[in-house]
Amino acid sequence: MSELKQELKEKIIEQLNLQDINIADFSDDMPLFGEGLGLDSIDALELIVLLQQDYNIKISNPEQGREIFQSINSLSDFISKNS
Amino acid sequence: MARKITSYCIIDSKGIKRNNGFQDFASGNTFKENIDTLIHENEIKNSRLGRMDPMSVLGFVGTELLLDNRKISEEYDPYDIGIVFSNNSSSLDTDLKYWDSVKKIASPSLFVYTLPNVSMAEICIKNCIKGENHFFLSQKIDLKLIYEQCSTLFDQELSKVIITGWVDYFQDDYKAVLFIIEDGNGEYPDFTEENLNKILKQ
């Protein structure tokens, strides 16, 4: 699981071009949206693309998005259960 | 007071010309190398820069250098600050990249920049500008168009200060020519098409 979390952090930083983010400061429980990493709605769409492209997972219910993308912990948990 | 050109900034592959001088870029540098140099040397900070398309980066960095740490939305009502931009390529560079992405999975972060107006939005977000935004297309830099469109906004009292000019980027070919137009005193050149041209040609 920790390998997946590290991989997710690296992919998010690269895919979203987060030049100011140091991976060492990117904690597993840091909120991805709002306070924390500060992602926006376009980033949310990019994360959905990342899930589909890299993990072959489609989010069928958009309502789930808020919970899935809460943090690296919730995202890796979702991927582990659905891949 | 008369309407004046109170600041200018011109960026292309050769270098940057500003009110206070000229700085060469190294020959053969890419757009990214040159713009990263400007961002670093002028300590331009914006967490959104990494996500912007090159045209928006050019417009944003050019405007930051044009404003030179000026807090324009504290000097003017944000609704009185206008932006009038133009270019030849529209958002074509990003349009092509987005079209390429569609072959696999369409990229949302590219899609949002497939409209040249978004470059102005980035400037507005950073500087809290809420006034008129206009983006025109023309085959080459059209100072008559810029002069007439800005004059219309002033005459109709829709703007009291305007950031205006040309912001064009296509496949590493780029040029930004930016001016601030506002009421000012005698030390600045009058806002005329002729004076815009003198600055452009220097």
Q: Does the CB of B27 have a partner CB in chain A at under 8 Å?
A: no
B48-52: average pLDDT: 88
H/E element, B165: strand B161-170
pTM of the predicted model as reported, rounded to 2 decimal places: 0.89
- Residues in B closer than 8 angstroms to A18, CB to CB, are 50
Paired residues of B12 in beta bridges: B15, B175
3-class secondary structure for A35-74?
CCCCECHHHHHHHHHHHHHHHCCCCCCHHHHHHHCCCHHH
Q: Among A20, A38, A46, whose Cβ lies nearest the Cβ of B109?
A: A46
B147-173: average pLDDT: 97
**Chain A: closest CA distance from residue B51 (Å):** 6
| pLDDT > 80? residue A69 | yes
Q: Do A43 and B109 touch (CB under 8 A)?
A: yes
| Residues whose CB is less than 8 angstroms from the CB of residue B114 and which lie 6 or more positions away in sequence, other chains included | B91, B94, B95, B98
Interface pTM, i.e. ipTM? 0.73
**Chain B: closest CA distance from residue A17 (Å):** 5
Distance from C-alpha of A6 to C-alpha of B118, rounded to nearest angstrom: 33
| Chain segment A2-49, per-residue pLDDT in tens | 899 999 999 999 888 887 788 888 999 999 998 888 888 889 999 999
Which of the residue ranges B20-24, B78-82, B169-173 would you say has the lowest mean pLDDT? B20-24
- Residues in A closer than 8 angstroms to B49, CB to CB, are 19
B91: left (phi over 0), alpha (psi -120 to 50) or beta: alpha
- Residues in B closer than 8 angstroms to A25, CB to CB, are none
Q: Among B47, B105, B112, whose Cβ lies nearest the Cβ of A38?
A: B47
| Chain segment B179-199, per-residue pLDDT in tens | 999 999 889 999 999 999 999
Q: Do A20 and B104 touch (CB under 8 A)?
A: no
**Residue B20 gets which letter from DSSP?**
T
Q: Do A16 and B112 touch (CB under 8 A)?
A: no
Chain B residue closest to A14 (CA)?
A: B50
% pLDDT > 70, chain B = 100
What SS3 class is residue B139? coil
Best CA proximity match to B116, nearest among B139, B131, B133: B133
Distance from C-alpha of B92 to C-alpha of B88, rounded to nearest angstrom: 9
